[in-house]
A and B are shown apart, each in its own frame.
Chain A
Amino acid sequence: MSAHYPALIILIPLLAAFLNTAFVWLDKRLCYPTTVLGLGGSVYFCIRLLLKVVGNGTMAYHVGGWAPPMGIELRVDNLSALVLLLVSVIAFMNIIASRKSINEELTFKSGAFYTIYLLFVTGLLGVVATADLFNLYVLLEITSLSAYALLAMGNQDRAPLASLNYIFLGVVGASFYLLGVGYLYIMTGTLNMADVNSLLPGIAGSSAVMVAFVFCLVGIWIKMGLFPLHTWLPNAYSYAPVSSSRVIAPLMTKVMVYVMIRMMISVFGLDFVFEQISLEGWVVALASVAIISGAVMALAQKDLKKMLAYIIVCEIGYMVGGAWLGNSQGMTGAILHIVNDAIMTFALFLVLGNIVFTRKKTAIKDLRGIFSSMPWTMAGFILVGISIIGVPPTCGFFSKWYLLLGGIEAGASFFVFALVLSSLISAVLVFRVVETAFFSPEDGGHEHEKAALNEAPVSMLVPLGLTGVAIIAVGIWSGYIVQHIILPFIQQGIS
């Protein structure tokens, strides 16, 4: 049984999606329980898988019983098990939190929404688990296709246009990736990641492999939304309904960072990336520019949704820069930040969802007096804000610490400067929202309005509470995570 875990985590949400579609026309009441069961099963098997992988080492699964270079292999090591758990838990919590708003927004199409949502999660889990370059492309397309649909639905007028822009850029990104895979395939004749990695030293110095790497990388960057290629991201995330942007914003970019790290370590190999290509100076500079410009653009926004979208652009710069610093501190920071940033972004969007659900307005000036009417939500916001600034007991501090150490070790002073500057700017961002919410008096100053408690429903507060606990817990246990999960993975990659 336990040998089948890598396949089961993907198959359970997939089957739930198919059954869901049948239930849309047979009995609608069954849709939501099926979705919850599918995602819950996935969470359960992800936990079991993580424990097993940390205990016994990498697990490989041969689909169809064919040995790797012929057939497709699923391969779960420490890093992928960690990201798998992250994806499934966030997807599960989001479906709990968004039941009410989905029922309100899409009464008769909620079944179709659940199906697409499950397919999105399946695609992400598959991308993380697979060890085949082409299979990754197919799963990436499932993820993107469902993300286009999730982002475009709803009543916002501009959502379809934003999503169509995302389609155009997303297809270019995926096609660049496919082209890179084609160039690798024509030089090596194989599609399995480990096989490519073992064949590449034989054709060292080939210009085709170099171009393949560049195209894969640019494709992934487009999908991720790294700074000059981020143009689709803010609009797509801020016009979408919160129940879908809440899961796409934390997971899509983080999984793409995971894919980038996977390509660097498991496919091309760190020797190739840092010694033969040696673009690291350029990429770290680009990442620093991304951090600063993301933070500055977030500062310029007047709407909470847009502000969060630009904070994502800024955080992507952290991870890309950390991964390209070229030392193990930086890589540790980048991987730890995948986890931390996914949790923090999810928490921010939960706060946003609660505000949208009760107030319908998200402009920062409309948040006046919200502290007294939604105390729990705003307490969550302050906790996340502290973590984003990087204050010690919270998880945001630890990944930033590793990134700073890595930056100092690599002598990338611009990157270190960008990190510090963005921390300051996020302090300003958080303080601005808190000030409006807490200190500004309500217009007109009606006493009874100030005191009226108008908090979001419990089903939306519980996930926020759990995420808040996770922010502190991951911070406290981050030494354990680094020692037992991340460092073994990096050592495997170096040897």
Chain B
Amino acid sequence: MKQLGLIIVIICGGLLLYATQDFPAWGDPTAPVHTHLSPHFITEGLHETGAPNLVTAVLADYRGYDTMFETVVVFCAGIACILLLRTFVQRTRGREYRHTPTGVVLHIQDPDKDLNNPREFELIDNMWVPHDLIIKTVSRMLIPFIQIFALYVVAHGDFSPGGGFQGGVIFGASLILLALSFDLRSSLRRISEKMLGILSALGVIIYSGIGIACMLLGGNFLDYGRLTAILPVDPDHIRAMGMLGVEIGVGFAVMAVMVIIYTNIASQGRHQQGL
């Protein structure tokens, strides 16, 4: 296997190196890459779309169709993780709960019985670890700031680096941090599996819904200019508004899917206990 690998690698690398001799020099402003399409994006992008961040302008407007499918890829990965990993195991017979304020441990024998006040108890099984006060407190302080930053990144994507995808990942990371520092159960209590599933679908529905709204208003798919008929916005900024709506959709979907993938991988699909 090692020899085979080396042979393939040498052939591929040789071919690729051979082809670099035709490339224009690195950073050369007269290369075809910089003279064919990009001058139009750079000089006209701001006027045509109203977004100073050209990457967002191209991402969400000129190539918005690509970005929709990029979100669909993420969505698909989330559903695939559910399809592959999620298992619904029967509750085991005996369960032990620890009452957090007092430290008393309860033993419950009936598998169908639930606790009256589950917030004050934690399940003790072979994966149970005692909580660390410092980590908990620090995360508790950090998480709101991370989330506000994520919202800023989504909302400010037109003007500065960032956008729906990055913001969604950061928001999802804050929820993953919650699951890491407390446990999976307490994070799923705040945002349930059902909620995550619906949010991920909602995100992509927002994106394609905006596109279809443009279609119903007489334009092509994702032609944000047509939204002037239903949004009371200055026509110069209508495309930027459309992009913002789309980015919010991307944010929802990506946030939900990141948490879905994490919960399924970390709990092997059982949703009992995180790391």
Contacts and interface: CB of A to CB of B under 8 A. Distances in A.
Given A70-B41, A71-B62, A138-B69, A189 B79 contact: no
Interface stretch (A109-117, A376-384, A400-408): A109-117
B140 interface: no
Interface in A1-32: 4, 7, 11, 14-15, 18-19, 21-22, 24-26
Contacts of A61: 220-221
Given A70-B41, A116-B76, A183-B19, A138 B66 contact: yes
A257 to B, nearest CB: 22
Interface string B12-54: 0001101111111000000111111110110000000000000
B73 A63 contact: no
Contacts of B212: 11, 15
B243 to A, nearest CB: 11
Contacts of B20: 208
B204 A189 contact: no
Given A7-B220, A138-B73, A145-B76, A63 B64 contact: yes
B69 A142 contact: yes
Interface stretch (B90-98, B143-151, B193-201): B193-201
Contact of B32 (A149, A186, A215): A186
A189 B37 contact: yes
A69 interface: yes
A205 to B, nearest CB: 9
Contact of B36 (A22, A189, A211): A189
A189 B223 contact: no
Main secondary structure of the interface of B (DSSP, over half): helix
Interface string A99-135: 0000000001100110110010010001000001011
Interface string A319-348: 000000000000000000000000000000
Of the four ranges (under 10, 10 to 19, 20 to 34, 35 or more), the interface on chain A belongs to 35 or more
Contacts of A436: none
A224 B208 CA distance: 30
A135 B19 contact: no
A289 interface: no
B72 interface: yes
B86 A109 contact: yes
B215 interface: yes
A448 to B, nearest CB: 41
Nearest to B204: A18
A66 interface: yes
B104 interface: no
Interface string B185-196: 000000000100
A138 B31 CA distance: 26
A112 B41 CA distance: 40
Q: How large is the interface on B (under 10, 10 to 19, 20 to 34, 35 or more residues)?
A: 35 or more
A69 B72 CA distance: 24
A179 B63 CA distance: 20
B22 A206 contact: yes
B219 A65 contact: yes
A187 B23 CA distance: 7
Contact of B33 (A15, A21, A62, A186): A186
Contact of B77 (A113, A145, A189): A145
Interface in B166-223: 194, 197-198, 200-202, 204-205, 208, 211-212, 215, 219-223
A186 B88 CA distance: 50
A185 interface: yes
Interface string A56-88: 000001111110011110000000000000000
A489 interface: no
Interface of chain A, main secondary structure: helix
A108 to B, nearest CB: 6
B37 A71 contact: no
Nearest to B206: A18
B202 A22 contact: yes
The list of the 9 closest CB pairs from A to B, nearest first, reads: A189-B36, A149-B80, A211-B19, A189-B32, A65-B223, A21-B201, A208-B22, A112-B83, A63-B65
23 contacts: A7-B215, A11-B211, A21-B75, A21-B79, A64-B64, A64-B222, A71-B62, A109-B82, A109-B83, A112-B79, A116-B76, A122-B72, A135-B65, A145-B73, A145-B76, A145-B77, A149-B76, A152-B84, A185-B33, A186-B23, A189-B35, A212-B19, A215-B15
Interface of A: 4, 7, 11, 14-15, 18-19, 21-22, 24-26, 61-66, 69-72, 108-109, 112-113, 115-116, 119, 122, 126, 132, 134-135, 138-139, 141-142, 145-146, 148-149, 152-153, 160, 179, 183, 185-190, 199, 206-212, 214-215
Interface of B: 15-16, 18-24, 31-38, 40-41, 61-66, 69-70, 72-73, 75-77, 79-80, 82-84, 86, 88, 194, 197-198, 200-202, 204-205, 208, 211-212, 215, 219-225
